Structure 1
Amino acid sequence: MNYISTRGTITPIGFKDAVMMGLATDGGLLLPETIPALDRSTLEAWRTLSYQELAFNVMSLFATDMPAGDLKRLIDTSYATFTHAEITPVVKKDGVHILELFHGPTLAFKDVALQFLGNLFEYLLKERGERMNIVGATSGDTGSAAIYGVRGKENINIFILHPHGKTSPVQALQMTTVLDPNVHNIAARGTFDDCQNIVKSLFNDLPFKERYALGAVNSINWARVLAQVVYYFYAYFRVAEPFGSEVVFSVPTGNFGDIFAGYVAKRMGLPVQKLLLATNENNILARFVTEGDYSLGDVVPTVSPSMDIQLASNFERYLFYLFDEDPARVCQAFAALPTKGRIDFSPAEMARVRDEFISRSVNETETIETISSFHAETGYILDPHTAVGVKAARELVTDGTPAICLATAHPAKFAEAVVRAVGFEPPRPASLEGIEQLPSRCQLLDADRDSIKAFIEEKAR
């Protein structure tokens, strides 16, 4: 399996090189040349596999230059850090199927991909005799998951930018209390979009990228999307009855990475009726689906900060397929976006979008009310991001089709929102006990490319 860029100007490369490249050298995002199509007999054969076995079968289709034994070992090592035997279990509450993605080291869905990617990076660097300086931006959960994926690993340095004061307190502490010498946290005075734009700019500075061997852990790295594809299959196999019937996945998303993994699973042949794209007030993606309006706006702080994003980096991957795999059209759209402030779509293109997606923007009042009412009805506590997905599913999925809502984080990471909703703090997992008393380390900088570039140059090794 070879990989190409959405911008169309790189020579196709293998999986290992795609992982190490991160962002394509032409500024695009990497995608497989083809997405494998699965028949019903394959899906039935996968139905009873363990999570690790299923991950191996899915990833093997895309990582064809990895020795099977090595890939299996990396998968087994990565998911040994999870606290639930099923890795991503599904629970049913009041007719809603909740896919719990928060049983990893940092209690968020990002662990599913970043535990694997951290081990994969270490493996590839050792194989090549190389070092890497990982640079990433986070709206909350990616940063801690990436840090926990590579802390203390050989030949890896990591720099994570987060918007100062715009994550939850626990999200910030999960990053800044990791004191391993290879971990560098940067709190930027700005928004997540500022952080993400700086990271993309650094990767597009090819001499800088090459000199400091930059690596990507954000969902611009294809390996992250691939790891997330697995749990769509796993959840489907535990919910669909009869086998072969369709389901709806409700995905709270801001950067389009998690829902794009579901789109890949659907293209592979998973019986998905619709992908429900659930957003908060930062609703550029919901406006795209419901109104055909992909126009940039200002970021609004909310109780679901991991979705406080306007410019969704993984959206480019979907546009590549929406534009019939025409890289020239992709280049044209993104070249005009900074000045035009929007991307326009034809009626035929929007008809295709609505054949795949439905969407709902859920505001803060609705989010808090959903946490409250769902707890009153079921005794189950939702985090605010998951509540966005549950509210959207309850409103839009009314025809009896099973709705699988992705629970993207543990509620204890967003205790302030939970207290507003139910009147008490959610129980804390052991990994969060006493986190406020731990020593922390973080560099506060302006959201300025040159300042952050200079900091990386100073600390890189």
Structure 2
Amino acid sequence: MQLFNLKVSSDEVSFAEAVKKGLGKEQGLYFPKSITPFDDIDALLALPFVERSSKILQQLIGDEIKPEVLSRLVEQAFTFPAPIANVEEGVYCLELFHGPTLAFKDFGARFMAQCLSELSKGQKITILTATSGDTGAAVAHAFHGIENIEVVILFPKGKISPLQEKLFSTLGGNVHTVAIESDFDACQQLVKTAFDDPDVREGLHLNSANSINISRLMAQICYYFEAFSQLSPEERANTVVSVPSGNFGNLTAGMFAKVLGLPVKRFVAATNLNDTVPRYWSTGDWLPNLTQATMSNAMDVSQPNNWPRIEALFEQGYLDRSILSAVSIDEEYTQLAMKCLANVGYVSEPHAAVAYKALKRELHEGETGIFLGTAHPAKFRDTVENVLGQPIHLPEALVEVADKESLSVPLANDYEQLKQHLFSILEP
């Protein structure tokens, strides 16, 4: 598989190189040189999840990884289901929170960990990534204990739920966590700056596990096919998918699924008050505002890193812009959506509620709708209990960490301090 850098087109790499590098020159994202759709989608959808996912990833990666090896990597990564729940007539939630850290990012992080472990051949690697919530836990658990790989996770201090933080800040070992005194965009900028610093990038063999890494993105394509496999043939032909969007990796994966032949009728990019994309989609002007803190905090992103890949899909003629709408849902409507879902017997959390509300606004009569449930409601226990006025049962994964001490180190939003910290905890 050949990929090129969207900022520096001459920067071409193989899949293995893209996985190990993460970012290209000038912080550019890697993008496939070509995408070949499947001939028979119905036959593909008839296969079991792991077998189908292996074929999807083989279609993208090609012969760079042997089929039997790729099948093993997928089997080791995808050890949990992705069911759709019928919430109301014609509306389903794709539940992506049945993995070890109760969030959709388990799919991408675990596949990336398997790929890096296979492709690095024992070379030392430092994973440096920023999280607005769920990425941190998924990456930490996916790489925890893997030999020759160190993990450093930056997160905005006090701006993710306490239980989210505990899931990744209590592991120790090869997992190091840093609480930055700012917002997610600042954490993400610190990561980018580190990748632009040759001393750190080369000295610590940096790699990023954010959704900018192509292996994570490709893994996420697979659960869109899994959702459609659970629909009737009549529903598949008329389905709209609403994606809660922060850094826009999840939506990008869905659009790649569409290019591969999945018959998605339309996509809805659902954001919270951080509405850079909805405003851009309406006016044509890319004008990020300061990031606002919301109850759907994993989507508190004003400058989504994955958007250039979506633009590339349009510019290169893979998709028409008419298949996408973009909707911003404010805090009041987020709470109303959570209550509406509870009234039909479905307990959900703020991110899924944003996607549900946006879907309801965009869904036409006779269409089937799927909105993505990206995290277990218990990960946002305080918010859900406050909005719904009812207790939430904690799953075992959260019970185990609730009383553990966080091992995070607080740092100012200062790159030189971060650089000094990295070299103090990691061996070059």
Query: Do the two structures share a fold, i.e. TM-score over 0.5?
Result: yes
After superposition, the C-alpha distances for 1:233-281 in whole angstroms (9 at most, x for unaligned) are 1111222532761311100011111001111111222111111000111
2:413 match = 447
- Contact 2:185 2:301 (C-alpha < 8 Å) held by counterparts: yes
Q: Distance in 1 between matches of 2:162 and 2:283?
A: 35
1:102 aligns with 2:97: yes
1:338 match = none
- Contact 1:135 1:199 (C-alpha < 8 Å) held by counterparts: yes
2:83 match = 89
Q: Distance in 2 between matches of 1:323 and 1:450?
A: 38
Amino acid at match of 1:56: S
1:364 match = 331
What is the TM-score when the length of structure 2 is the normalising length? 0.96
1:247 match = 239
1:311 aligns with 2:277: no
> Alignment partner of 2:234: what SS?
coil
- Contact 1:254 1:285 (C-alpha < 8 Å) held by counterparts: no
- Deviation, 1:38, is 2.0
Match of 1:131 among 111, 124, 134: 124
After superposition, the C-alpha distances for 1:374-396 in whole angstroms (9 at most, x for unaligned) are 1112x210111000011111121
- Contact 2:11 2:24 (C-alpha < 8 Å) held by counterparts: no
Q: Distance in 1 between matches of 2:199 and 2:409?
A: 25
Runs of 4+ in 1 over 3 A off after TM superposition: 321-325
The CA RMSD over aligned residues, in Å, is: 1.6
- Deviation, 1:27, is 2.1
Amino acid at match of 1:103: H
- Deviation, 1:324, is 3.8
1:328 match = none
> Alignment partner of 1:13: what SS?
strand
- Deviation, 1:352, is 4.9
2:282 match = 290
After superposition, the C-alpha distances for 1:115-160 in whole angstroms (9 at most, x for unaligned) are 11112211222x2x31101000000000110000000110100000
1:28 match = 28
Q: Distance in 1 between matches of 2:375 and 2:234?
A: 29
> Alignment partner of 1:274: what SS?
strand
Q: 1:94 to 1:453 in 2, by over 3 A?
A: same
- Contact 1:16 1:63 (C-alpha < 8 Å) held by counterparts: no
1:214 match = 206
Q: How many residues align?
A: 424
After superposition, the C-alpha distances for 1:29-56 in whole angstroms (9 at most, x for unaligned) are 00111011222xx212112211111110
1:339 match = none
Q: Distance in 1 between matches of 2:379 and 2:14?
A: 37
Match of 2:365 among 393, 399, 406: 399
Q: Distance in 2 between matches of 1:77 and 1:50?
A: 15
1:410 match = 376
1:200 aligns with 2:186: no
Q: Distance in 2 between matches of 1:110 and 1:79?
A: 11
1:343 match = none
Q: Distance in 1 between matches of 2:342 and 2:224?
A: 25
1:269 match = 261
1:341 match = none
What is the TM-score when the length of structure 1 is the normalising length? 0.89
Q: Distance in 2 between matches of 1:243 and 1:45?
A: 16
- Deviation, 1:288, is 1.9
More displaced 10-residue stretch of structure 1: 234-243 or 90-99: 234-243
- Contact 1:194 1:447 (C-alpha < 8 Å) held by counterparts: yes
Q: Distance in 1 between matches of 2:328 and 2:57?
A: 32
> Alignment partner of 1:436: what SS?
coil
1:119 match = 114
Q: Distance in 2 between matches of 1:452 and 1:400?
A: 53
2:353 match = 387
- Contact 2:126 2:206 (C-alpha < 8 Å) held by counterparts: yes
Q: Distance in 2 between matches of 1:293 and 1:406?
A: 28
1:237 match = 229
Q: 1:248 to 1:138 in 2, by over 3 A?
A: same
- Contact 2:154 2:187 (C-alpha < 8 Å) held by counterparts: yes
> Alignment partner of 2:76: what SS?
helix
1:63 aligns with 2:51: no
After superposition, the C-alpha distances for 1:421-450 in whole angstroms (9 at most, x for unaligned) are 211232111111152311320100001111
- Contact 2:170 2:405 (C-alpha < 8 Å) held by counterparts: yes
Q: Distance in 2 between matches of 1:70 and 1:253?
A: 32
- Contact 1:412 1:425 (C-alpha < 8 Å) held by counterparts: no
- Contact 1:38 1:268 (C-alpha < 8 Å) held by counterparts: yes
- Deviation, 1:418, is 0.8
Amino acid at match of 1:267: V
Amino acid at match of 2:255: Y
1:376 aligns with 2:371: no
Q: Unaligned stretches of 5+ in structure 2?
A: none
Q: Unaligned stretches of 5+ in structure 1?
A: 326-350
> Alignment partner of 2:337: what SS?
helix
After superposition, the C-alpha distances for 1:157-196 in whole angstroms (9 at most, x for unaligned) are 00000000000111111111112x2110000000100000
After superposition, the C-alpha distances for 1:282-340 in whole angstroms (9 at most, x for unaligned) are 11112122332320101111110000010000011122334448xxxxxxxxxxxxxxx
